[in-house]
Amino acid sequence: MHALLAAAPALPLGEGGKYVAGAYIVFVLLLVIYVGIMAAKLQRIERELRDLAGFAEARTQGEEAAPGREEASSNV
């Protein structure tokens, strides 16, 4: 059994070997594209989150600067 495993090549070297190598290349290429798309999405989400945090902070500071707004909103 060990002799059979030692004699077998690690990668097929015949006609099918080209297709196996091509399949691996396509798989890795698709994986790299997928990771790139996810990284771009993450950057966009982080940028939008920073913008929202800035809006929330500005709104909080704006409410502190105008004390009369608290009374008007409590009557609603």
pLDDT band at 63 (very low <50, low <70, confident <90, very high): confident
| C-alpha distances in Å from residue 7, one per residue of 43, 48, 53 | 50, 58, 63
Per-residue pLDDT at 75: 56
The b-or-e profile of 49-69 (16+ CB within 10 A means b, else e) is eeeeeeeeeeeeeeeeeeeee
The one-letter amino acid at 15: E
More confident of the two residues 51 and 62: 51
Whether 10 contacts 17, CB under 8 Å: no
And the tokens for 27?
């798989």
pLDDT digit string (tens) for 2-27?
A: 665 566 556 556 778 888 889 999 99
pLDDT digit string (tens) for 22-61?
A: 999 999 999 999 999 999 999 999 999 999 999 999 998 8
And the tokens for 62?
């704006």
